[in-house]
């Protein structure tokens, strides 16, 4: 693997493995983040199969010989995960919380798209060449930037819930709630309009890391009372929220690692054409 990709790729794989392990242990999917409709029999079996798939594909992603097939499989899996969010949008498009859920998974899909664009080795395909290489990375960045807008807005619209998630030991909790919401919206706009986009993506990565450990850290896994009033008791919800935030943060880091530093760099590095850099293209990686 290219050296500058290793940290983000490894973090993504570790988080995905964690989610897979939860699916196997609990024989279920990731709560509202992975809203598989209820059906019987076979739902528990499908959840275990999906969990094992996530574990195997994530491990395969870490090795050069299997990275291409893993990137393709994970991309399709995340695309299916995203499609599960569409029915709720059709039924209740006026509810911002629905857009929040859609945006969170879209951020995750964007990270998977970056992996697909870089490692799927489908650039010679007549169809997939439009979804891979630099063009594919640009599409992923646009999706990530757009997805950040409803996620950030939810911090403001659901202000009291956001405040309740801010650690009690922090002062001015309402201020932090507003700050994180406005900050995520600003990061999304920065990525979309190429205004210090790499900085914006790195700032978002940092915020998600803080959310993971300050909001859903280990103390919440053993807490007797759920952090969210609507959350079920036990460690599973908090662990799932931690790992989802972890993987979305890894997606943000993948975007940050691959996005050009500016609009001028976007044009100079050929992000508007179909030229594709292979994972082993050292000259292209040096230019980046």
Query: Is 208 part of any domain?
Result: yes
d(CA 82, CA 34): 8
More confident residue, 77 or 229: 77
pLDDT digits (tens, 9 = 90+) for 87-145: 999 999 999 999 999 999 999 999 999 999 999 999 999 989 999 999 999 999 999 99
Model confidence band, residue 282 (pLDDT cutoffs 50, 70, 90): very low
> Residue for token digits 């500058």?
4
Instruction: Considering only the C-alpha atoms of the chain, give the largest distance between any 2 of them, rounded to a whole number of Å.
Output: 55
What is the structure's pLDDT at 229?
78
CA distances from 257 to 39, 66, 137, 202 (A): 40, 22, 11, 9
Pick the closest to residue 253 from 215, 203, 211 (CA basis).
Answer: 203
In this prediction, residue 268 carries a pLDDT of 66
Alpha carbon of 156 to those of 92, 104, 106, 283: distances in Å? 19, 16, 20, 44
Is residue 288 in a domain? no
Q: Does any domain span residue 285?
A: no
Domain that holds residue 53: 3-271
Model confidence at 269, pLDDT cuts 50, 70, 90, reads: low
Residue 288 pLDDT > 90, yes or no? no
Distance CA 39, CA 213 (A): 34
Q: What distance in Å separates the CA atoms of residue 177 and residue 17, rounded to the nearest whole number?
A: 30
Average pLDDT on 261-275 reads 61
In a domain, 99, yes or no: yes
Decide if 284 is inside a domain: no
Q: What was the pLDDT predicted at 278?
A: 37
The 10s digit of each residue's pLDDT in 154-200 is 999 999 999 999 999 999 999 999 999 999 999 999 999 999 999 99
- Give the C-alpha separation, 2 to 110, whole Å: 19
pTM for the structure as a whole: 0.90
Task: Indicate whether 238 pLDDT > 70.
Answer: yes
pLDDT of residue 267: 67
Residue 278 inside a domain? The answer is no
| Confidence at 35, pLDDT banded by 50, 70, 90 | very high
Cβ-contact 180, 161 below 8 angstroms:
no
pLDDT exceeds 60 at position 286: no
Instruction: Report, as an integer, the average pLDDT of 20-45.
Output: 94
Residue 283 falls within a domain, yes or no?
no
Residue pair 135/271 in contact (Cβ under 8 Å)? The answer is yes
Q: Is the pLDDT of residue 275 over 80?
A: no
Identify the pLDDT of residue 256.
97
The structural domain count of the chain equals 1
Name the pLDDT band for 230 (thresholds 50, 70, 90). confident
Please say if the pLDDT value at position 46 is more than 70.
yes
pLDDT at 283 over 90: no
Q: Is the pLDDT of residue 57 over 80?
A: yes
pLDDT of residue 4: 77
pLDDT above 70 covers a percentage of the chain that reads 91
161 within a domain of the structure (yes/no): yes
How many helices (H) and strands (E) would you count in the chain?
Answer: 13, 0
């Amino acid at each position: 693997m290219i050296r500058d990709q290793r940290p983000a790729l490894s973090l993504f794989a570790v988080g995905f493995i964690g989610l897979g392990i939860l699916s196997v242990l609990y024989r279920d999917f990731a709560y509202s983040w992975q809203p598989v409709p209820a059906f019987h029999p076979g739902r528990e079996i499908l959840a275990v199969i999906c969990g094992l798939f996530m574990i195997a594909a994530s491990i395969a992603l870490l090795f050069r010989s299997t990275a291409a097939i893993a990137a393709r499989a994970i991309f399709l899996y995340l695309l299916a995960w995203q499609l599960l969010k569409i029915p709720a949008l059709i039924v209740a498009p006026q509810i911002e919380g629905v857009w929040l859920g859609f945006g969170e998974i879209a951020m995750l899909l964007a990270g998977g798209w970056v992996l697909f664009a870089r490692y799927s080795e489908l650039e010679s395909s007549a169809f997939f060449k439009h979804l891979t290489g630099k063009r594919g990375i640009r599409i992923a960045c646009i999706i990530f930037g757009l997805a950040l807008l409803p996620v950030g807005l939810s911090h403001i619209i659901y202000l009291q819930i956001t405040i309740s998630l801010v650690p009690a030991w922090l002062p001015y909790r309402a201020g932090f709630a507003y700050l994180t919401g406005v900050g995520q919206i600003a990061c999304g706009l920065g990525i979309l309009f190429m205004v210090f986009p790499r900085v914006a993506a790195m700032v978002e990565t940092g915020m998600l890391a803080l959310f993971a450990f300050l909001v859903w850290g280990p103390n919440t896994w053993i807490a007797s009372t759920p952090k969210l009033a609507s959350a079920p008791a036990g460690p599973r919800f908090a662990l799932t929220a931690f790992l989802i935030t972890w993987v979305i943060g890894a997606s943000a880091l993948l975007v940050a690692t691959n996005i050009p530093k500016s609009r001028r760099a976007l044009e100079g590095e050929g992000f508007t054409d179909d030229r594709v850099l292979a994972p082993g293209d050292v000259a292209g990686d040096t230019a980046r």
